[in-house]
Structure 1
Amino acid sequence: MNGDAPPRHLWLCADDYGLSPGVNRAIRDLIERGRLNAASVMVVGPAIGRDEVSALNDAAAKGPHCAVGLHATLTAPFHPLTLHFKPLEGGLFLPFPRMLRAGLLRRLDPEIIRAELTAQLAAFMEKFGRAPDFVDGHQHVQLFPQVRDAFLAAVKEAAPNAWVRQGGRHQPLARRLGMPKALLLDILSAQFRRSASRANIAFNPAFAGAYDFSQAPDFGELMRQFLDGLPDGGLVMCHPGFIDDILISLDPLTDQREREYEFLAGEAFPRLLAANNVTLA
C-alpha cells in the first residue's frame, strides 16, 4: 500500500432492506457502526412499514455519508404494485431465470415494465419524502434486455439526479472467464452503460460482490478479492442479515447473510479497508 496515495472512496451497499425485519436490523446496525455507506430498499418487500422506514432514516442520519436508494424488484416471490403488470405467475413476478429469458427473447412489454418501476419510485418517495440517491435492481433485473431501457426512462423522469448501478467488473478477462454468473453480468452491463450514457445518467465505474452464495465461502477472503483493484467510486454489493421466519419463507440466502454480517461487524473488516487504502467515508 502507498501511504502517500489518497484513499479510494468505495460504495459498500447492503441490498434488500425491506425483505425481512432481521435483514433490516442487520443493515441498520452496520450503518450505525460506519461499516456500510449505502442501503438499497425494496418497496415491495413485507418489512417496509413506517417504523422500518423511520428506523433506516435514523440510522442513516448517524452515518451522514450513507446513501439510501431503491432496489427495483421485478422477480418472484414478490407482487407488483401496478394492477395490470404481466407476465405473472400466481399473482407474483416471474422467477429470475424466466424473467431473464423473457427479456432475452423480447417477450416483455417495456411500457408495462416502466409503469411498474415508476410506481416503485413513487412508493419510495412517498415513504421517504424524497427521491432515492441511487436506483439498482433486485437480482440485477435492471440489466435485463427490454427492462434496462424502461428502467432508465423511469429513473430519468422520476429521479433525474439519482445514479444507477451497473454490474461490470474490473478484473482481468482471465479471472472473469471462470465465473459464468459474473461474466453474464459483464455482458449485460456493457449495453446498460451505453444506454445510461446516452441518457446522461450517472453510474458506478466498476462493480464487485457477485459470488456463489450456495457454497458458503469465506466472506472475508471474498471481500479482499472484491477490493483488489476496484477503482475510486466503485461499488461492492453485500447482503447482511439476521435469519427470521420471514426471510426463510422468501429467500434461500439465509446463513450466508449472517456470515456477511459477522465479518462486516467485526474488527477484521476495518483492518482490511486500511490495508487496501479504502474509505467508506
Structure 2
Amino acid sequence: MNPALPPRRIWLCADDYGLSPGINRGIRDLIERRRLNATSVMVVGPAIRRDEVEALKTAVATGPCAIGLHTTLTAPFHPLTMYFRPLHGGVFLPLGAMLRTSLLRRLDPEIVRGEIAAQLSAFAELFGRPPDYVDGHQHVQLFPQVRDAFLAAVKKAAPNAWVRQCGRTLPLSQKLQNPKALLLDVLSARFRVRCQQAGLAYNPGFAGAYDFTQSVDFGKVMPAFFEGLPDNGLVMCHPGFVDDVLIGLDPLTDQREREYAFIAGDDFPRLLAANVITLREPAP
C-alpha cells in the first residue's frame, strides 16, 4: 500500500452481458468472487434469455453489483423497434458508419430516442426495475445526435440512474498518447455538459480503453488505468470465455479470457491494495 495515495472507491464495470453464454458465465463468476461491482446488459444480445437473467440476479445476490443497460445501436445487432433507420442489411450500421452519420447530422433523433426507450423498457421488463446506470456499446451514447436522444430517454425512464461518460482526468501530454481514448475525451466533453443540463449524474473519470486488436498482457496495462482516476471513477473491462456465439458476433475474443484471468487471479487484489483502491458498494 502506498501511503502517499488517497483512498479511492471505483467502479469496475464488465461490459457486454448478454452477448454470449461464455461472456455471461465469466462475468457472473467474477461478480460472485467480488472482483466486479458493475455489469452492463445488452438487451438486444442473443444470450439474454430468462435463465441468463435469473442467473445474473443470483450472482448479484452473492456479490453486490450494479446492473446497467448497455445501449446498443451498432452492427451486428438488430433494433427492437421496427421503424429504426438507417440500417444496413436489416441490422444497425457498423460503428464507423454510425459515427460518420451522426457527425453529419443525418440521424433522426426521435427515431434514436424511441429505440433507446425500447431498450430501457426491455431492461425493466427483464429485471423488474430500471437500470442502476446506462452506458453504450462501443460508446455510442457519446455520438452527436445520439447523446441528446440518449439522455432524454434515460431522464424519462430511469431518472435516478447515472450515465457513463468516457473522459479521462489526465494531463494533455498523456491523453495524446492514445488516439482512441483521445476521441472519447473529445466526445465526452460535450456529453458531460448535456448531462448537467439534463440533471443526470455521471462518473467523474473513466479508464479501460486500449488496443483490443493486439494480444495484450492485461496485467501490464491495467495499472495505467488507475493513474489520475478520481474517487468514484470507472474502469471498463470485457472479461469472459470464448464460445461459438461470441466468435460469430464480435472480433474481441481471446483478449476477453486474458482479462478474466487477471481479474480472477491473485495479482488483481494486490494491484488494488497497492493503489489504495476498493470496489465501491452499489447503492441499495
Structure 2 gap ranges (5+):
none
Post-superposition Cα deviations, 1:118-174, rounded to whole Å, max 9, x if no partner, equal 000000000000000000000000000000000000000000000000000112111
CA distance in 2, matches of 1:4, 1:33: 29
- Asked if structure 1 preserves the Cα contact closer than 8 Å seen for 2:165 and 2:203, the reply is yes
CA distance in 1, matches of 2:171, 2:239: 28
Name the counterpart of 1:56: 56
Are 2:221 and 1:191 aligned? no
Post-superposition Cα deviations, 1:253-279, rounded to whole Å, max 9, x if no partner, equal 000000000000000000000000000
Name the counterpart of 2:116: 117
* Identity fraction in percent: 73
Name the counterpart of 2:8: 8
Name the counterpart of 1:156: 155
Pairing of 1:25-104 with structure 2 (within 5 A): 25-64=25-64, 66-104=65-103
Name the counterpart of 2:215: 216
- Asked if structure 2 preserves the Cα contact closer than 8 Å seen for 1:228 and 1:276, the reply is no
Three-state SS of the structure 1 residue aligned to 2:82 is coil
Aligned partner letter, 1:54: E
Structure 2 CA distance for partners of 1:4 and 1:226, relative to 1, 3 Å: closer
Following TM superposition, by how much is the alpha carbon of 1:3 offset from its aligned partner in structure 2, in angstroms? 3.8
CA distance in 2, matches of 1:167, 1:5: 23
Following TM superposition, by how much is the alpha carbon of 1:2 offset from its aligned partner in structure 2, in angstroms? 4.6
CA distance in 1, matches of 2:51, 2:6: 39
Following TM superposition, by how much is the alpha carbon of 1:63 offset from its aligned partner in structure 2, in angstroms? 1.3
Q: Which TM-score applies when normalising by structure 1?
A: 0.98
Name the counterpart of 2:23: 23
CA distance in 2, matches of 1:84, 1:229: 43
- Asked if structure 2 preserves the Cα contact closer than 8 Å seen for 1:82 and 1:115, the reply is yes
Are 2:225 and 1:226 aligned? yes
Following TM superposition, by how much is the alpha carbon of 1:229 offset from its aligned partner in structure 2, in angstroms? 2.2
Pairing of 1:131-210 with structure 2 (within 5 A): 131-210=130-209
CA distance in 2, matches of 1:236, 1:222: 12
CA distance in 2, matches of 1:186, 1:60: 31
CA distance in 1, matches of 2:89, 2:113: 21
CA distance in 2, matches of 1:2, 1:257: 30
CA distance in 1, matches of 2:139, 2:257: 22
- Asked if structure 1 preserves the Cα contact closer than 8 Å seen for 2:2 and 2:274, the reply is no
CA distance in 2, matches of 1:266, 1:275: 15
Aligned partner letter, 1:110: P
Return structure 1 stretches of 4+ with deviation > 4 angstroms: none
Three-state SS of the structure 1 residue aligned to 2:101 is helix
Q: What is the aligned length?
A: 280
Structure 1 gap ranges (5+):
none
CA distance in 1, matches of 2:31, 2:223: 20
Aligned partner letter, 2:216: P
Deviates more, 1:167-176 or 1:155-164: 167-176
- Asked if structure 1 preserves the Cα contact closer than 8 Å seen for 2:42 and 2:48, the reply is yes
CA distance in 1, matches of 2:53, 2:203: 25
- Asked if structure 2 preserves the Cα contact closer than 8 Å seen for 1:205 and 1:234, the reply is yes
CA distance in 2, matches of 1:140, 1:173: 21
Name the counterpart of 1:278: 277
Following TM superposition, by how much is the alpha carbon of 1:7 offset from its aligned partner in structure 2, in angstroms? 2.5
CA distance in 1, matches of 2:148, 2:194: 7
Structure 2 CA distance for partners of 1:90 and 1:160, relative to 1, 3 Å: same
What is the RMSD of the two structures over their aligned residues, measured on CA atoms? 1.0
Post-superposition Cα deviations, 1:163-203, rounded to whole Å, max 9, x if no partner, equal 00000011211111121111100000000000000000000
Aligned partner letter, 1:100: L
Pairing of 1:232-251 with structure 2 (within 5 A): 232-251=231-250
Name the counterpart of 2:254: 255
- Asked if structure 2 preserves the Cα contact closer than 8 Å seen for 1:18 and 1:47, the reply is yes
